[in-house]
Amino acid sequence: MMSESIEVAVGGFRWRVQAEQRALLLGETGLRLSEWLRRGEATVIKHAPHRTVYEVRLPGLHFYVKHNRLLDARGWLRAWARPGKALAEYDRTLALAARGVPTFVPLAAGEPARGPGDSFLLTLALENTQQLNTFLEQVLPTLPASRQTRLRQRIAVVLGHLLADMHDAGIIHHDLHAGNILLDLTGDRPRLYLIDLHAVRLTSRLDWRASRDNLVIINRWFVLRATRSDRLRFWHAYCARRRERGNGDGTGGICTKRMREVEEHTTASNRDFWHGLEGRCLENNRRFRRVRSAVASGHAVTDLDPSALDALLADPDRPFCQAGARLLKDSRSTTVAEIDLPINGMVRRVICKRFRVTSRSDPWLALLRPAPALRSWLNGHALRLRWLPTPRPLAVFHRRRHGLAHEGYLLTAKIEAAEDLHAFRARVRLLPAEQRCMAIRAVLERVARLVRDLHDRGVSHRDLKAANVLVVRDPSVRQDASTEPLDHWPLTSSSVWLIDLVGVHQYRRLGRRRKVQNLARLHASFIDDGVLSRTDKLRFLRIYLAWGLHGRAGWKSWWHEIDRATRAKIARNARHGRPLG
């Protein structure tokens, strides 16, 4: 229960604070944050240029301090035109509580008494809670399978109820993702709390379009991480809750035949979101940085050891002849070696690939489009943004002569205990018939699902051949998490990976012709295969087309189109004397 709020001016700030906490939180010069830091009662738990969050533990009081900063001209102008973030969030918290939506309890908010500037928000800690995304990505996978299932189902239901209550109360959260929802599992059923309310907007009534757009925002996160059955369970809970309150569209509730609409808008929204983030790997930020030496220049992730990276930039060809290097490939166009490299303070095995200049026109073409090494770097991070499993690109750089890019070098994380589909095929040939059949079907299903996800997320891999698909021999092997940023944690447990991404392209809408080309390129790798039967290939197509969701209609036309494209590919390679690979 919150006490009465009072307005005070102290230390050049205007404060809105709960009366009973005024003396504890504010001194003669303002917020007592410096005292708490000096005594070790406050610790930084999150820091970024625009915001720092402190956790404070005082006798009898556990709370958080959010320090908002103004960084640029846009922020200063917005601060002149509207209330400060801290006071606005304080008021929205009270409004949400009044409308029956669970959220945190505000203790105090302060902003400069004269003009815009930094602001502070103090909120009571919700004990025994954790961020929903942290629980789903890190804690839930460690629990027994039966408990995982029960918790997933219950969380889906209470999340549906939370969203329904929000929308019935006229509340929209424009930054609605799992990181802004707290989870409490101490009671009989999970409880959820809405936090980070700077993006909340309050209205009197939400129509279907506003409700749908808000559902799309949260679905963007869950569509990559939750199963279809859990999302359907959420949807039924959301619909049932809104029908209970009588908020329908006159046709039996707002949810009639509209889940597909939410899914379609989510797909389009995610593609726009991914497209907007693809250029981050070419900038200086907390994850990437530009690198340069007298010999080469390029880009790297920030957790590479600086001294090791400087050595590579000074002599990019040294990895291929240094002690401990293992040469994997040496052709006219590329050389690939496996080397040791410090990452996050630990020596890890990585793959180093050199792209040679094979034509005098290559450096000039690099002025018109990214060179192959840079394309692989861009495409690798683009795929990982879409949660598609590919080894993490660690660095890319080119030798520079007269301002032109010449030889390119790409470093990527190594996928442990992996083999390409050719090696897998050779290995399963030696297995007894029953084991061979089981192994083939398991890998077929994983590859088919991966290709379907690839295309569903607007990505085409024109060189999708057997040699460019890696299969982890032991599915229990987790890839080294030290080379994975937290938001790509699930990729460390993937059993099928895509490599050699020079031929990858991203599209807002991927057409059927490109999908058929990708499938035909993969099929051509197995055209004379003695291991895969026509039944196996039909099973692959069935999984790719998701018969269980969309039905069988039209599969024969796909079969014939892929067959024609495969034969055309084989004939084209034969005319040019190229192996299918």
The topology (CATH level 3) of 287-413 is: Phosphorylase Kinase; domain 1 (3.30.200)
- For 174-184, the pLDDT digits (tens) are 999 999 999 99
Residue 454 near residue 536 (C-beta atoms within 8 A): no
Q: Map residue 413 onto helix, strand or coil.
A: strand
Global pTM?
0.86
> Is pLDDT at 80 greater than 70 in this prediction?
no
Query: Which of the two residues, 248 and 375, has the higher pLDDT score?
Result: 375
Q: If you search the block for the tokens 């080309």, which residue do you land on?
A: 517
**∠319-324-325 over CA atoms, to 5°?**
40
Residue type, 29: T
Which CATH architecture is the domain 418-576 placed in?
Orthogonal Bundle (1.10)
Q: If you search the block for the tokens 């046709």, which residue do you land on?
A: 251
Q: Judge if 5-124 and 287-413 fold alike in CATH terms.
A: yes
pLDDT given for residue 3 in this prediction:
63
pLDDT given for residue 250 in this prediction:
39
The DSSP symbol for 325 reads: -
Query: Which of the two residues, 29 and 461, has the higher pLDDT score?
Result: 461
Domain ranges for the chain, please list them: 5-124, 129-279, 287-413, 418-576
Confidence of residue 488 (pLDDT cuts 50, 70, 90): low
* Tokens of residue 468, six digits: 């460019």
Nearest residue to 152 via CA among 78, 215, 232, 84: 232
Assess if CATH 3.30.450.90 describes domain 5-124.
no
Task: In whole angstroms, give the CA distance from residue 397 to residue 314.
Answer: 11
What backbone phi and psi angles, to 5 degrees, belong to 30?
120, -150
Cα dihedral angle (77, 79, 85, 88), rounded to 10 degrees?
Answer: -120
Cα dihedral angle (44, 486, 164, 272), rounded to 10 degrees?
Answer: 110
- Please name the residue ranges forming H helices in 386-465: 421-428, 433-456
pLDDT given for residue 115 in this prediction:
74
Residue type, 55: E
Confidence of residue 251 (pLDDT cuts 50, 70, 90): very low
- For 129-139, the pLDDT digits (tens) are 999 999 998 89
Torsion over CA: 445, 450, 453, 454 (sign): negative
CATH class given for the domain over 129-279: mainly alpha
Residue 215 near residue 223 (C-beta atoms within 8 A): no
What backbone phi and psi angles, to 5 degrees, belong to 561?
-65, -40
Task: In whole angstroms, give the CA distance from residue 429 to residue 413.
Answer: 29
Q: Map residue 45 onto helix, strand or coil.
A: strand
